[in-house]
Structure 1
Amino acid sequence: MTKKALLKEYEKNLQVVIKSAKESGLKDDQIEQCIRQSFKPLKKTSHDQKNHKIVKCSLLLLLPLSLFIYILLNVHTPTSSLVLRNVQGLTYPALKIVRIISVPIIKLFPSFTSLYDESCLVENPYFYLTDMDCWPCENIHSLLNLTGVDDVNPLEKLREGTPCIIEMNKPTVSLKHFQELYWNYSSELDLDANRLKVTGLNSGTLKAVANLTEENLSSNFHIHWRINKMIPARIVRKLFPKPHFLPERSGQAVERFLFIDGPKSNTYTLPNTECSYVFMIQGSGERIIALKPSNECKDKCKTIYVVMKPAALLLFNWWYWRPVSLPVKNSTSLSFTYMNSFC
């Protein structure tokens, strides 16, 4: 049916509707109002379709425009330099505005302030180096024991990629020492206690741990305490001082970890550290540390194992080795392991 025929059919049907309305007692203005109301949905549909077309066209234009700007800024050096010169002056005012806007949000969610101390909010689980040279770990089949060797600097071996172990002459750190430290500095340590992960205990607070005795702990008891604030880090250093061979001005990371394990605590992978040079100190008890090659080097290097005995210090480079903690067979005592890193 042609458009003209459709209009004639519509007009005929409309006349029938108007006649029927008049017979029902409706006045002419009421009939006209009803007819106008019937056209409103059609107008709305037409308007929505028009808006949809506008949005679609805008997106089609925006995509190539964004691609063009990105290529221009990354390829055309004069344009990139011009933009940077003009944008740099706006950086601090923009950050100031963002900070002002964030104040009400922080008031509503005070726990967000803990993110200020984080060096990395979201870690990339797919991080991988395609061209990494794995020669430092290719011929390593066991740890280098530097106990009593004074003419070899552990840092030199560490920079070469060789993992080392040193049996230090220092007091052990037991649950009793940890509890004494907490009661002396409870107000300061509780500020960072929200990063405590506990397995085998009903309450996951430092105060609950400070009230424990070894007799009422399960054999698979485990504590993972991550510290990334300066004050608690300084306090924990009273139990685990900086290794003697580290220079005074070494870039020691604030972030550090303390692991307390029962004699049959499950195997777990130790977390990634801020810096690549890692050292672990065994405070008391025993724990097996497996140094597994990183993903980049797993086809060229082999896993090596070491039993961490009290006062043992382990050094390795995180780029080549990833540590895993395992229980020691027939062990009967709690294990205290401290981990830190430096750059």
Structure 2
Amino acid sequence: MMTAEDYPVVDRLEEIWRTGQELGLSQAQIHHVFDSVFNEEKEKEAIISKSHGSTDYKRTIQDIARMITSYLKIFTKFLVFLTAVCIVVFIVISLHNPTRKLVTRNIQDVIYPFMTTLRYLTLPILTRYPHLSQWYSEECLVPNVFYDQPSIDCMPCSKDPQPIKTAGLQNFTDMYYNNGRIIIVTDAMLQNMTWGDLTKELDIKQEFEIGAFKYFSETNTSMEALRWFVKEETINSDDHIEWRINRLETLHVVRQIFPRMYFIPSETEVALHRFVYVDGPEADSYPLPLTEFANVVLIQGEGKSVLTLSPSSHCQDICNSVTVTLDTTHVLFFNWIYWRPVRVGGESISTLAMSSFY
């Protein structure tokens, strides 16, 4: 029902209608004029409404941009502050000797539990995605040529460099840990472990294909000889095998063959990477590589090895080289901060395993 305000509009429409009739327009033509006018007004309203919506959208985008910029400024300030704090802490630890000793003494007790917990947390991920274990095989391909050991006290290796042969070692941490002494432990391995034991438990061909297994021979250098060795798994008199073990699948088996030595402190960490060297009685001499950690354990699984321990570059002036003979099941301990080992010979077939601990 129309109200009083609607009558002027109705009167105006009737006036327009009469004007159309006076101009000779039919009713259909007059309806068409009205429809055209109404449609034009609707289009204008739509354009205006769209313009208002676009303005609101632009305002929303601008508000979001201002918010992101504000957060970025806050994050940048926090990052700068955190960097400044880290620099100050680093300077204090580096220049203030009591603080450095305090931090070093306390952080040692945290590293191993933290890494052990982290490893346990990642086990479900490795179980679900076993191919991720190959990342453990990654190593540093470009060493830091600017790195050097801090000042080293070489007095331990200068006073009494001769190896100490012992059994039933109970006071290892107090007397021999990180002090440059050389120890031969005769009761750490209960039985000998041969090259045949390794070939029974492990797939030599697979290890060779992934590049962990390297075979050297002076007499048999052809590819046919190499294929024959991988197939037959026999050692010639001048053969030399270098086997770097960093795959978890292989490491689990090797840990059972060459277990953790009883004298290694329980609170320390044993490195994941292991090395196995198999040599014929006439194999050439070769240096042993630096291990992941400085405390080195050499296990003579079978045969005999003669090693020369030369002083490191820091201790060459006051320390002399030492010759060590390892018999079957004997275990040699030394620290490569003071000593660098070279295997110079042996008797019969020799299987030598090397690991390290923190």
Shorter-normalised TM range = 0.5 to 0.7
Report Cα offsets for 1:241-278 as digits up to 9, x if no partner.
11112244431000110000010111111001110111
- 1:100-149 CA-to-partner distances (Å, cap 9, x unmatched) read xxxxxxxxxxxxx96663342312456434632212212123101112x4
Structure 2 residue aligned with 1:161, among 180, 191, 203?
Answer: 180
Distance change (3 Å), C-alpha of 1:246 and 1:255: same
Structure 1 residue 174 displacement after superposition: 1.6
Partner in structure 1 of residue 354 of structure 2: 339
Match of 2:233 in 1: 212
TM-score (norm 2): 0.57
- Structure 1 residues 274, 192: closer, same or farther in 2, change over 3 A? farther
CA contact (8 A) 1:146 1:154 kept: no
More deviation in 311-320 or 159-168? 159-168
**3-state SS in 1 of match to 2:157:** helix
Equivalent residues in 2 for 1:97-176, closer than 5 Å:
117-124=137-144, 127-129=147-149, 131-147=151-167, 149-153=168-172, 156-168=175-187, 169-176=189-196
Scaled by the length of structure 1, the TM-score of the pair is: 0.59
Q: Say whether residues 1:293 and 2:314 are aligned partners.
A: no
Q: Distance in 2 between matches of 1:225 and 1:311?
A: 19
Determine whether 1:196 maps to 2:216: no
User: What are the ranges of 5 or more consecutive residues in structure 1 without an aligned counterpart?
Assistant: 1-77, 86-112
Aligned length: 229
Alpha-carbon distance in structure 2 between the residues aligned to 1:126 and 1:281: 32
Q: Alpha carbon RMSD of aligned pairs, Å?
A: 3.1
Q: Does the 8 Å contact 1:288/1:308 carry over to 2?
A: yes
Deviations 1:42-72 (A, max 9, x none): xxxxxxxxxxxxxxxxxxxxxxxxxxxxxxx
The alpha-carbon deviation at position 195 of structure 1 amounts to 1.8
179 and 137 in structure 1: CA distance in 2 versus 1, 3 angstrom threshold: same
1-side partners of 2:345 and 2:150: how far apart? 34
Conserved? CA contact 1:279–1:314, under 8 Å: yes
Give the superposition deviation at 1:230.
Answer: 2.3
Q: Which residue of 1 aligns with 2:24?
A: none
Deviations 1:10-66 (A, max 9, x none): xxxxxxxxxxxxxxxxxxxxxxxxxxxxxxxxxxxxxxxxxxxxxxxxxxxxxxxxx
Equivalent AA in structure 2 for residue 221 of structure 1: D
Which structure 2 segments of 5+ residues have no match?
A: 1-76, 85-132
Change (3 A) 1:231 1:248: farther
Cα distance change of structure 1 residues 228 and 129 upon mapping to structure 2, 3 Å threshold = same
Largest Rg, 1 or 2 = 2
Q: Is structure 2 residue 256 aligned with structure 1 residue 238?
A: yes
Give the secondary-structure state (helix, strand or coil) at the position aligned to 1:138: helix
Query: Is the Cα contact below 8 Å between 2:165 and 2:184 reproduced in 1?
Result: yes
> Is 1:180 the counterpart of 2:200 in the alignment?
yes
The residue correspondences of 1:205-284 to structure 2 (distance < 5 A) are 208-209=229-230, 211-214=232-235, 217=236, 219-284=237-302
Shift of 1:152: 3.4
Paired residue secondary structure (1:176): helix
Amino acid at match of 1:143: P
Which residue number in structure 1 is paired with residue 8 of structure 2? Answer: none
Does the C-alpha gap of structure 1 residues 193 and 301 become closer, same or farther in structure 2, counting only changes over 3 Å?
same
After TM superposition, give the deviation of residue 211 of structure 1 in Å.
2.0
- CA 1:83–1:155: 2 relative to 1, 3 Å: closer
Distance 1:305 1:190 in 2: 32
**Greater Cα shift, 157-166 or 286-295:** 157-166
Whole-Å separation in 1 of the counterparts to 2:261 and 2:245: 18
% same residue: 28
Paired letter, 2:293: C
Residues 267 and 324, structure 1, Cα contact 8 Å, conserved in 2: yes
